[in-house]
Amino acid sequence: MTEILDTVADLTYLRDKRELEAMFAELIYELVGASRLVLWRIAWGGESRVMQRHLVLPEGAEPGEDRAVLPGLKHGACLEGEVNGGFRYDFAIHDGNRPAGMIELLRPERLTRAETLTVSRLIRVYNNHAGLLDYGSRDELTGLLNRRGFNSYFHQAVQEKQAVIAVADIDFFKRINDEFGHLYGDEVLILMGRLMEGCLGEMGSVFRFGGEEFLVILHNTPLGMAAIRLEAFRNAVQSAVFPQVGRVTISVGFSTLKGDDTGASAFGRADEALYVAKQHGRNQVRCHEWLVRDGILREKKKAGGQIELF
């Protein structure tokens, strides 16, 4: 018990979510004597949510079969089943109030009730601490992640085979503040954040970068699918009626993430595409790679070291 408490104390000292996740998985793996642990994350795959392996212990272990998103992923949920002469346990993990994935444990013997409760309680500690880390990384007005919260999500996304970064800017926002006042301007920002989460939240992570500028990272999404989803979001904004203000439009620029990207380089490409959208009439979605292909933009070559701006 003392060793567990010491490890939990070490966990709550961590401020990097990736380190927290790895250390927490190691704790559970060793605590129950699992033959294998798989940390699954919910991601967007094509037209539906899918489970993706995020971490496997021990390193080099056979990752096991693909899993579908479980319909009953509720707080504290634990599902038990027999597999290959042993037992498999699925424990739900959450990001705030949203299901984020699960921890899959394989053991030769069945977990005791005490062991199951211990794992469930440790997962609650993990969820609560991860939520506290997010608290300082969220924008006070909209509740979206802010620039501080961008780094950990970016470093995870850049390792994926297909991920997209999009920058969105509310058109003529200064005019909204000048004509209707900052109170209604703030309400537009809040409602815009909700629209973004509703249209794009299941596919990835939504951020407010300050002012009228928002950013989205779409996980495991090819450019063609990103264009469809971002265009659907643009159309949803155009169709919405904002209190007192009425109709509002948004311009979007996006680009695929590359393995050697920094936050600054990826943001820069999406921002260049956004600038083209602004210069060509606003209320449109533009892709950096397609603009380079069509000769409207030129691909920039990296020179020397990388500088992280976010």
Helix locations, the chain, DSSP H: 2-13, 17-31, 113-135, 147-157, 173-180, 182-200, 223-239, 263-279, 288-293
Active-site annotation, residues: 212
Secondary structure (3-state) at 296: coil
Task: Write the burial class of residue 178 (CB in 10 Å: 0-12 exposed, 13-18 middle, 19+ buried).
Answer: exposed
Q: How far apart are CA 128 and CA 93, in angstroms?
A: 11
Tokens describing residue 252? 């979007």
Tokens describing residue 135? 């608290």
Q: How far apart are CA 187 and CA 47, in angstroms?
A: 31
The vertex-240 CA angle with 235 and 242, nearest 5°, equals 140
Contacts of 271 (CB under 8 A, 6+ apart): 167, 253
